[in-house]
Amino acid sequence: SQELEQSPQSLIVQEGKNLTINCTSSKTLYGLYWYKQKYGEGLIFLMMLQKGGEEKSHEKITAKLDEKKQQSSLHITASQPSHAGIYLCGADGSSGGGTSYGKLTFGQGTILTVHP
């Protein structure tokens, strides 16, 4: 089964600082999702990456998937208190066959705290 490891497990930064969260897979990633979660609440979709070398940005958040498709990073530029929360990466269970699309295995999450 696929395993995802996120690092760091927790991160405390000062407002305005940049930060990076990493997600490493034990197998090739065919679809990698990044979500943000406030504790006890639902998931907020951030980005989805599928192609090796792909990079997507939304506002101050950039996600990349490496060429080998086994590692992804999420970078936040000029962090704000509103960025605080739990960041989760999720790997799609599909392996090219299409029958497991949407069946996600999640990393353990990274807790981000941003001090004003």
Partner 1 sequence: GAVVSQHPSWVICKSGTSVKIECRSLDFQATTMFWYRQFPKQSLMLMATSNEGSKATYEQGVEKDKFLINHASLTLSTLTVTSAHPEDSSFYICSARGTGKLNTEAFFGQGTRLTVV
Task: Mark 63-92 with x for binding to partner 1 (rule: CB under 8 A) and - for no binding.
Answer: -------------------------x-x-x
Question: Does 101 engage in binding with partner 1 (CB under 8 A)?
Answer: yes
Interatomic CA distance for residues 113 and 65, integer angstroms: 24
The answer to the question of residue 34 lying near partner 1 (CB under 8 A) is no
CB nearer to partner 1: pick between 66 and 109: 109
**Which one of the spans 12-20, 64-72, 75-83, 103-111 is the region binding partner 1 (CB under 8 A)?**
103-111
Nearer to partner 1, 33 or 84 (CB): 33
CA 92 to mean position of chain CA atoms = 12
Angle at 100 between CA 53 and CA 70, to 5 degrees: 25
CB of 112 to partner 1, least distance (A): 14
Give how many residues touch partner 1 by CB under 8 A: 23
Which chain residues interact with partner 1 by CB under 8 A? 31, 33, 35, 40-43, 45, 48, 88, 90, 92, 94, 98, 101-109
